[in-house]
Amino acid sequence: MSLVPIAFGFREDPHLQRTAAALEALGQSLWFMDSTTPGRCNFTSDGRNRRASIDVVDRTGSRTLSVGPDEIFVWLRNKAQYQVLRTLATQINRFKLEERSSFIRGLIETYDIPHMNALDRGRRQEDKILQTRFAAVAGLSMPETLISSDREEILTFLDRHPVAISKPLWVKYLPEARSGAPARFIGTRKITQDIVAQADADDFLIAPMIVQPLLAKQYELRVIASRNNGAVAYKIEAPATDQGRLDWRPVTDDCTNALVEAPQDLVDGLVRYLEAAGLEYGVFDLIMTPEDELYFLECNSDGQWAWLEPGDPPGPTARLFADILATRTRQEMYP
pLDDT at 100: 92
Instruction: Tell me the C-alpha distance between 211 and 167, whole Å.
Output: 7
pLDDT at 182: 82
- Tens-place pLDDT, residues 80-132: 565 556 666 677 888 888 899 999 999 999 999 999 998 889 889 889 999 99
Burial class (CB in 10 A: 0-12, 13-18, 19+), 253: exposed
- Tens-place pLDDT, residues 266-282: 999 999 999 999 999 99
- Give Cα 285 to chain centroid, integer Å: 11
Cα separation values, 248 from 101, 117, 167, 289, 335, Å: 31, 26, 14, 15, 43
Mean pLDDT computed over 216-233: 96
Q: Is the pLDDT of residue 60 over 60?
A: yes
CA angle, residues 269, 272, 275, in degrees to nearest 5:
155
Beta strands in the chain (DSSP E): 4-8, 31-33, 41-45, 50-57, 64-67, 72-76, 146-148, 163-167, 173-174, 184-185, 189-192, 209-213, 219-226, 231-237, 256-260, 281-288, 294-300
Instruction: Tell me the C-alpha distance between 72 and 21, whole Å.
Output: 19
Neighbours of 238 (CB within 10 A): 21
What's the mean pLDDT when you consider all of the chain?
92
Q: Which domains does the chain have, with CATH numbers?
A: 4-115 (no CATH), 123-142+215-308 (3.30.470.20), 146-213 (no CATH)
Segment (H or E) for 193: helix 193-198
pLDDT at 180: 81
**242 — pLDDT class (breaks 50, 70, 90):** confident
Backbone angles phi, psi at 21, to 5 degrees: -65, -40
Which 3 state secondary structure label does DSSP give 304?
coil
Instruction: Tell me the C-alpha distance between 9 and 278, whole Å.
Output: 22
Neighbours of 107 (CB within 10 A): 21
Mean pLDDT computed over 321-330: 95
Instruction: Tell me the C-alpha distance between 330 and 66, whole Å.
Output: 20
CA angle, residues 167, 171, 172, in degrees to nearest 5:
65
pLDDT at 89: 63
- Give Cα 112 to chain centroid, integer Å: 23
Which residue type does 153 have?
E
- Would you give the DSSP letter of residue 30? P
- Tens-place pLDDT, residues 69-89: 999 999 998 665 655 566 666
Instruction: Tell me the C-alpha distance between 89 and 95, whole Å.
Output: 10
